[in-house]
Amino acid sequence: MTVFRGRDTYYWKRHIFNRLKPYDFNENNDKKEKSFDVLIIFDPNLFLEAEAEGIKVIFNELLHLDPEKESIFSVEGKPFFAISRGAFKKLKLNLKEDEKLITKLRINRNIRNIVLNQGFRVLDLSKDRIAVENAVITYQAAVLINKGVIIEDLGHFFIEGMISIGEETRISSGVVIKGDSKIGRNVHIYPHVYIENSMVGDNCTLLPGCIVRDSILEESVQIGPYTHLRKGALVKKGAQMGNFVEMKKSVLGEGSMSMHLTYIGDADIGKNVNIGAGTITCNYDGVRKNKTIIEEGVFIGSGTELVAPVVVKKNSYVAAGSTITEEVPEESLAVARQKQRNLPGWVTRKKGKKVCKP
């Protein structure tokens, strides 16, 4: 079971609390004891000491909660607790309406006694969505900070799930990290980067405005600003991608570079390749996607169109402005463009013509 895959409380209610009615603060006092199945409680004082693993235990057990029996689910030292309706009634718990606090709670379980001497805020999943999200994000950020992650702007940082982020990684303002993602050590993520279902290796740099979805960055990779990696992109060790480069279902080999205004789709690019500005892999013929293969050591000049399926053999050069439709042999120069023609006096003759008014 994936817990906190998303912070959206509607997700939790649908997948975790689908058969449990949360406490409703708006109902009349005489109906309160019968108006809910479970109370969700968190203790902000435990954030800095808590560990992520405990949350999974709590919510796995909640799936088997019987509202009528006396039961509380928690893990010692963790910030989240759940109390059944039966426990609420038997312990004669009282809620302060204005503060929504349980001031003292002592539960005797088979394994241990849990004494909660501090005030605990009750979060109603239906009414306190923002409070729940703030609680979770605070907890997640605290866990990361304690592990050596630097979060520059806690007020503008969004993380979905207990994502692994290595120590000495620096996260700037406006960063979003979602889904099944993993960030390595000593990574620098600049402002307004979006990462979803992706892996980022050690010592990587993600400059401002990058979007990384369903992709893998090996170690010591640099991308951005405004690089877009989408489904199936693999950027190998030491490779670089720059301004307004988009890559999909492709491999950029070790030490290769694509720095400006490029689309790479359904391509396999070897190591130490240079992709010039404005290069396009023309992978779609209107019916199917076709593959481009660029072997190691190739130099692709600016403004090149590679019409797939096509292969560019290793250590070859493609002249700027070429449209490549056939295989380029190893260590050769491919030039595929019309010969330039200059027409003397053409502009003078054009300007000398009278323009007919409509």
Q: Which residues are catalytic?
A: 260
Radius of gyration of the chain (CA): 29
Burial class (CB in 10 A: 0-12, 13-18, 19+), 343: exposed
CB 88 within 8 A of CB 72: no
**How many H-runs (helices) and E-runs (strands) does the chain carry?**
5, 35
* Peptide bond just before 225 cis, omega within 30 deg: yes
* Peptide bond just before 309 cis, omega within 30 deg: yes
Longest dimension (CA), the chain: 100
101 forms beta bridges with: 96, 121
DSSP per-residue codes, 253-294: -TT-EEEEEEEEESEEE-TT-EE-TT-EEE-B-SS-B--EEE
